[in-house]
A and B are shown apart, each in its own frame.
Chain A
Amino acid sequence: MSLANEIVFAIVAFLILMMGIIFFVVLYQRRMFHHHLELKKINEQKQKELLQASIQGEEDERMRIASELHDDVGASLSSVRLFLHSAAKTSDPEIINRSRELLEDSIQKVRSISHKLQPSMLQHLGLKATLEAMAETVNKSGNLHMTCTLAQIPELDENTGLAVYRVVQELLNNVIKHSGARSVSLSAQLLQDAIVLHFAHDGIGLTEEEFQKQVRKPGAIGLKNIVNRLQSINASIQFEQVLENHYRAVISVPLNS
């Protein structure tokens, strides 16, 4: 082969090399594009599910309040009305006393519903006192023992406090319903720029992997609400199994959230 032909060969080789580079760029970028699309689709799906869960959670809460108002308070007040009708005719002190008891019972129920809707204690005494009161209520039931070590918890703004309270409430509900735990502990640790809450129990719990799986599944409204509430204050949650029959959820709340 003469040198002139070798040069031609080199020119062709150079062209082929450039085509190879172009081909590589196209393939690589196409793969990136598909990956990006898939990621976007998953994110959109997740957002949709979270929104759905949020709406569903709200609807469930309304249903619960409506049923409590209708079945408990409504029924009590109807009975009071009936008793008062009778009392107007007979002036029997027994009927009046019964009506008063029913009215007090109704007032108590309305207070209870109101407390569940927006714990006034949270507004007046703060997150620490509210969580301690929650633990006290749980301990009174006698089925579960809850300890709180919240000395380091600082004053949080209303939104953050409410979100953390709701998340702990949901975790506690799940423990009561599903874990079969005998004891629960809640502790707080103050870091430089965040507060870390450790919620641990000795029942059957969730690992991070199981939590992620559950959150992606349709349903699991409670868990999705946890994610929603924490996202709204830029906080995060991490589930882990510490020992056999000992699970823990670690909630990190940034202090500037």
Chain B
Amino acid sequence: MSPFLICSLLSPLLPIVVGFRTRSSVLWWYCLTAFSFDITGTLLKRVFLVNHLVVGNIFLAVEFLFLSFIFKRAVFGKRSLLFFVWLAVVVAVYAFMSVRTFQTFNLTSASIFYFVYVVYVLLGFLYILRMSEVILLERSWFFWVCVAFGLYSSGDFLLFLFRNYIVEKNSDLMSKLWNYLFLTSNILKNLLLGIAIYWHVKPRHEPR
């Protein structure tokens, strides 16, 4: 295993440790879930030598649910019905798309999900700028969440979209991109989520 992969696998531990005392936020449970799925996938692939891509496919849907809940206030405001309809429709469509190809990683869905996260993040930034109370950004957990997922999803959504093509043309390039781009952005995301969870512990007038 490359050091990048090890760092990436262990990086969710930082936000988990930071938020361990309260364990109340959706963000903390997201980090714990991400860590569990990463470890499970790696064990299946490297220790038990079985197909681990199913874990990745499940995680895509779980991650979407978590992020939708985190960005709910910023994206949907008080329209809870619309929010739950959105969740139900997306999960249903995703399940329908993945049911026949569940043994292979659903790249198209992954890139669509990542694009949705980019939109979530942009709406999140808009929400911050429109907030009636002006806050200190560096102390805002929601700002750090937006930065973390903004960098993570904007970097990776094209990577997932064109993964097959890049592998076909230049598999070496794909392996470099995976190591240097995906794993680095994953580490960065978890570091930033650590900061976000740190500020989330303190009560603030922001979406929770």
Q: Which residues of A contact B (CB under 8 A)?
A: 2-4, 7-8, 10-11, 14-15, 17-19, 21-22, 25-26, 28-30, 32-33, 36
Contacts and interface: CB of A to CB of B under 8 A. Distances in A.
Contact of A7 (B118, B155, B162): B162
Given A11-B158, A25-B129, A30-B137, A2 B150 contact: no
Secondary structure type dominating chain A contacts: helix
B129 to A, nearest CB: 6
A3 B154 contact: no
B1 to A, nearest CB: 24
Nearest to B168: A4
Given A3-B165, A7-B165, A15 B137 contact: no
A25 B136 contact: no
A65 B162 CA distance: 88
Contacts of B157: 14
B31 interface: no
Contacts of A28: 129
B147 interface: yes
B136 A8 contact: no
> Which secondary structure dominates chain B's binding surface?
helix
A32 to B, nearest CB: 5
Interface in B144-167: 146-147, 150-151, 154-155, 157-159, 162, 165-166
Contacts of B202: none
Contacts of B166: 4, 7
Contact of A18 (B129, B136, B143, B154): B154
Contact of B154 (A17, A32, A33, A36): A17
B89 to A, nearest CB: 26
Given A11-B159, A14-B155, 13 more contacts: A2-B170, A4-B166, A4-B169, A8-B177, A11-B177, A14-B154, A14-B157, A18-B151, A18-B154, A21-B125, A28-B129, A30-B137, A33-B136
Nearest to A18: B154
Interface of B: 118, 121-122, 125, 128-129, 134-137, 143, 146-147, 150-151, 154-155, 157-159, 162, 165-166, 169-170, 173, 177, 181
Contacts of A21: 122, 125, 150
A29 B150 contact: no
23 contacts: A4-B170, A4-B173, A7-B165, A8-B173, A14-B154, A14-B155, A15-B151, A15-B154, A18-B121, A18-B150, A21-B122, A22-B125, A22-B146, A22-B147, A22-B150, A25-B125, A25-B129, A25-B143, A29-B128, A29-B134, A29-B137, A33-B135, A33-B137
A4 B136 CA distance: 41
A11 B159 CA distance: 7
A3 B169 contact: yes
A19 B152 CA distance: 11
Contact of B158 (A2, A14, A25, A26): A14
A241 to B, nearest CB: 38
A22 B165 CA distance: 30
A19 B118 CA distance: 12
A29 B125 CA distance: 10
Contacts of B134: 29, 32-33, 36
Nearest to A26: B137
Contacts of B118: 18
A156 to B, nearest CB: 35
B117 to A, nearest CB: 11
Given A28-B129, A33-B136, A2 B169 contact: yes
